[in-house]
Structure 1
Amino acid sequence: MSAPAIIEAKSVSKWYGKFQALKNINLIVHKGERIVICGPSGSGKSTLIRCFN
């Protein structure tokens, strides 16, 4: 049996006016896992993290 999910995102999208910063993001993080969110500048890393805050 796998550890329970502590963070789960299903089809997360974020718009700022007409600009779509995130499009249909799906993510599951289980207890005990460590993840890295990486990508180029402007790809939505900080926006994704703010959605969990």
Structure 2
Amino acid sequence: MHYQRLGVADERLRTYVKPPTADEPLDPGRRPIDLSLDSFEDGTTPPVRLRTPAPP
């Protein structure tokens, strides 16, 4: 619930995010994750490789 309370997923990122304006629309489909409905971390997806391997 950090995002709902702070406006960011990680408090250290607050300095990089502007606060919402009063007339800024909300995404009507936005909702917190519900583990009884949402399945996205089942352990079958391989991790994302962020760096290319070093050359031999």
Same fold (TM over 0.5): no
More helix by share: 2
More strand by share: 1
| Larger gyration radius, structure 1 or structure 2 | 2
- Normalised by the length of structure 2, the TM-score is 0.17
